[in-house]
Amino acid sequence: MTRARRLSAALAVVAALAGAEASAQSLLSHDWLVLQPELGISYANVVAVSNDGLFPSASSTTGFGPRFGLLAGMRFGPVTGGARVDLARYAAYDVGDAGLFIELRIPVPFIQPFGRVGIGYAWLGDLNPDPRYLACGASGSGASCPKVSGWFGSVGGGLDLAISSHFTLGANLDVTFLNLTRAASPASVMFTNTGDSVGLQVTLGLHAALRI
């Protein structure tokens, strides 16, 4: 194959992908349903910003772990909005959240940058009472660990590539602020009073979206 023919073939592929991108993401188009599973690696520190007795005797409140998420919503032109749920797993605890998000993308051909924000309910689950972590109960049982919940606010962005008019692949970076409150536990001297904190969670992830 001559250089000219190879160049023509490459330009045809780029044009096809760009056309798929434009048809899927243009200012005048819409998706009645967007389903987007996400998978990433996450870092969390639930007392990164402030700590008012959330876990008084905690040995470790930070960690790295996998994060799983699902977004569902609708897109009108460059704006997508809907609901999301996420669960990240760490040695000391799980971080879960459920809330709403809005996303704005730059409608350029082929690859599209996007930014997004979210807000909603957050909680800590599967608290590890091991003294190496939260030290809130007998080793092997989290029954005596008080309930911890609150709200989250997130900001993030990334890049999307259109494989077809109904399927996109992308990467994202999200920063989540966690405002958490711990319930009091009369059964434990350590948790007689309530506690709260402002923490941080950072996630680098990949996602795939089905657009109908």
Tell me the CATH number at 46: 2.40.160.20
pLDDT of 90-106, one tens digit each?
Answer: 999 999 999 999 999 88
pLDDT of 19-75, one tens digit each?
Answer: 444 444 555 678 899 999 999 999 999 999 988 888 877 778 899 999 999 999 999
Residue 177: pLDDT above 60? yes
Rounded distance between C-alpha atoms, residue 128 and residue 66, angstroms: 17
Residue 161 structure tokens = 């590539």
Q: How many domains does the chain have?
A: 1
User: How far from 24 is each of 27, 31, 109, 157, 169, CA to CA, in Å?
Assistant: 10, 8, 10, 19, 12
Range list of β-strands (E), 58-194: 62-76, 79-89, 94-105, 111-125, 148-164, 167-182
Structural domain boundaries enclosing 118: 3-211
Is-contact 140 133, C-beta < 8 A? no
Residue with tokens 């809907």: 82
Q: What is the pTM of this model?
A: 0.81
